[in-house]
Amino acid sequence: MQVSDVMTGDVTAVSPESSVREAARKLDQLHVGALPVCDGKHLVGVLTDRDIVVRSTAVGALPDATRVDEVMSHDVRWCFEHDAWNRSNARWRRCRSGGCRWWTEKKIWSAS
């Protein structure tokens, strides 16, 4: 089995220059808890609802004046669609406790 067999497609990204408010609205509209942060075609981080709460809301930052790149998580791992699922899943599980996410080009995947 390959990663492409279990990953989710049609992922919406947010730019590092976007405001936290704009990103929070996307999270709400899409019913997701994380968005990839892409600078053009380059993955530069991931923004989670927890990032917004802990790094923005909790410190009193203004959502319209705070940029995504100020609060996003930088620890992002990636794999390729053609990678073997068992190897990628094992790496993901080792990283999982650290809260990082895995992305493949334009798609996110997660293990249950």
CATH number at residue 35: 3.10.580.10
Residues 4-43: tens digit of each pLDDT: 777 766 778 999 999 999 999 999 999 989 898 988 878 8
Whether 54 maps to a domain, the answer reads: yes
Whether 112 maps to a domain, the answer reads: no
Is 0.85 topped by the overall pTM?
no
Whether 110 maps to a domain, the answer reads: no
Residue 29's domain comprises 3-105
Residue with tokens 């790094």: 55
User: What confidence score (pLDDT) does residue 82 get?
Assistant: 74
Whether 111 maps to a domain, the answer reads: no
Number of domains in the chain: 1
Task: Write the single-letter amino acid at 64.
Answer: D
Residues 53-89: tens digit of each pLDDT: 999 999 999 999 999 999 998 877 777 777 777 777 6
Residue 62, judged by CB atoms within 10 A of its CB (0-12, 13-18, 19+), counts as exposed
Whether 98 maps to a domain, the answer reads: yes
From first CA to last CA, the distance across the chain in angstroms is 15
Whether 83 maps to a domain, the answer reads: yes
Asked whether 49 and 27 are in contact (CB, 8 A), the reply is yes
Whether 28 maps to a domain, the answer reads: yes
